[in-house]
Every structure is written in structure tokens, then in C-alpha cells.
Amino acid sequence: MKILDILDKEAIIAGLKAQSKKEVLEELADLSGMNNDKIDVTELVGVLLDREKLGSTGIGDGVAIPHGRLDNIEKVVAVFGKSVEGIDFDSMDGKKTHLFFLLIAPDNSNGVHLKALARISRLMKNPGFRMDLMEAKSKEEIYKVFSDEDAKY
């Protein structure tokens, strides 16, 4: 699976304004709703907050992969956001989170959803890739980092 199959250039925030976990989820959900009229932003935020209650999606190394399912979308949708300052996201390693990859899947898409989560997780474990994302200044530069990585896959 290529990241750019699910991540559109317009679904990237190079400078998150959020200061808290809830605000990050709201900001990412807002952008997903702007790009997809089938996404109910309020419902999505609720789904994401419920998922976070089960355990933080902050996987460590400055990365979080919040995810959830909605029954009214047809395909997996992704939104990426970066916070230079970092946000307390209750990450497993206790450190601030800088890179957020929101994944929204249709309710009936177990295989595709898990494939996307696995691909993103593997990608975000690569220190060089994370550094490239942190050094990117614009959504165009961030998109290019993902595009360059997809070209290797």
C-alpha cells in the first residue's frame, strides 16, 4: 500500500495550532471534513476520543496514529499534521508528540484498515523519515517526503 493512495496533498497540516490532545484530534478531523463531505466531524471526533480512552495512539518517538471507523465513508482516508513544538498526547514513551497521522476507515474494512495502520507504523518507526518530515516546512514539502518514500515501496 502506498501512502499517497490514502493521503491527499490537501490533507496535510504543516503547522498544527492545537495545544492539547483533544485540539489535535479536532483540527485533524476538521480538515478531513473539509476534504470529504461524507465525514461528520463531530462524530469523527467522538470516535477518536473513544479510541483514545482505550489507550493512547501515541506510539512514541514523537509519533501518534489516531484512528477510527465511520460507517458512511467508502475508503480509507488519511490526514497528516505536524507540530514543531510538540503536544502532550499521553504517548507511550512520555515524550511530546510532533507527527500525527490520522487514519479513518470504513466500518467494514478490516483488511485495508490494518494494512494501512501497519504501513504507517513501519514508516514512522524510521528515524530518517521522521527527521525528513520534521525538516519539511510546508505541506508541499511534507507531501514530497511521502512521495519519495512511496517511490521506494
Please list the active-site residues: 67
- Across the chain, where does the E strand assignment appear? 7-13, 58-60, 63-64, 67-70, 77-87, 97-106
Please count the other Cβ atoms lying within 10 Å of the Cβ belonging to residue 17. 10
Are 84 and 9 contacting, i.e. CB atoms less than 8 angstroms apart?
Answer: no
Cα–Cα distance for residue pair 96/87, rounded to 1 Å: 5
Place of cell 465511520: 70
